Amino acid sequence: MAISYIDTHAHLYDEAFLPDQDQVITRLQAAEVAKVLMPNIDNSSIEPMLAFQQKHPSIFEPMIGLHPCYVQKNFQQELYQMEAWLKKHRFIAIGEVGIDLYRSSDYKEEQQEALEIQISWGKQYKLPLVFHMRNATKELLSLLRKQQDGTLYGVVHCFAGTLEEAQAIIDLGFALGIGGAITFKNSDLVKMITSIDLKHLVLETDSPYLAPVPYRGKRNEPAYVKDIAAVLATIYRMPIADIAAITTDNAIRVFNLPYPLSNTQYQ
């Protein structure tokens, strides 16, 4: 059985990749990354993302959503334009969406309203949701408890919370996105993750951000998803091939991906 990975969260259309996009693709293929799922940021990133996806449509899958850090007073117009794209183009998920109160709470109400609208898209179009959550765990969990009617599913990406928070997210029907932070020295995630069944985890890089050790501080890219898997293999005391197989199965299930993956020998 061939090993294959799925990077469930990478901004490969970002300007940081313009100088060497082709080489990035070559490296991720060499690293046995079969699929890369690309979260959207706002309306300005949709066309660059779709243009990048067209280079290798069997590998790259686009999402659509308004990132909470880009929610401002005009968010309703942003969402109106975004839903027009949603009606005419195939997207793998609604994302990345959520609540971010890390630097400011000036647009807290707007973020919550925008999120409610986008959650309704997930229900209407039967798509998974990919949540961004920073300094807003209480707010996001409260909203999801109100909105969960048995049809919501997806991923809380870049999870970095407590075991209690992780269990609450899992109980609400969502997977946890695990990225480069798990490789950082003295990461709180290492102790917490041992209490979580691997069936609830998907791998992600959040490229170009949050590069894992030994690339910390440099630009991240999907090929490094293997470094995240290697740390999980140590934590769970199992072969890295098993980490790859289980997390790939999880991503296939959460994102309704074709099985087997079209561009690999994964079975």
Domains, the chain, ordered by start: 5-255 (3.20.20.140)
Cis upstream peptide for 208 (omega within 30°): yes
For the chain, what percent of residues have pLDDT higher than 70?
Answer: 96
pLDDT of the residue at 261: 67
Spatial separation of the C-alpha atoms in residues 215 and 208, rounded to whole Å: 11
Contact 40, 60 (CB under 8 A): no
pLDDT of the residue at 266: 32
Cis upstream peptide for 214 (omega within 30°): yes
Which residues are CB-contacts of 120 (< 8 A; sequence separation ≥ 6)? none
Q: Which of 39, 202, 10 lies closest to 130 in space, CA to CA? A: 39
pLDDT of the residue at 263: 44
Per-residue three-class SS string for 212-231: CCCCCCCCCCHHHHHHHHHH
Out of 77-81, 99-103, 134-138, 257-261, pick the least confident: 257-261
Output the pTM of the full model. Answer: 0.95
- Render pLDDT for 71-123 as a digit per residue (tens, 0 to 9): 999 999 999 999 999 999 999 999 999 999 998 899 999 999 999 999 999 99
Tokens representing residue 95 in the block: 């994302």
Contact 261, 4 (CB under 8 A): yes
Cα three-residue angle 237-239-242, rounded to 5 degrees: 110
Tokens representing residue 167 in the block: 């269990």
Neighbours of 219 (CB within 10 A): 15
Tokens representing residue 26 in the block: 């070559």
Spatial separation of the C-alpha atoms in residues 214 and 230, rounded to whole Å: 12
What sign results for the dihedral spanned by CA atoms 33, 20, 92, 207?
positive
Question: Given a cut of 50, is residue 267 above it in pLDDT?
Answer: no
Q: How confident is the model at residue 264 (pLDDT cuts 50, 70, 90)?
A: very low
What sign results for the dihedral spanned by CA atoms 6, 7, 13, 18?
negative
Out of 65-79, 192-206, 247-261, pick the least confident: 247-261
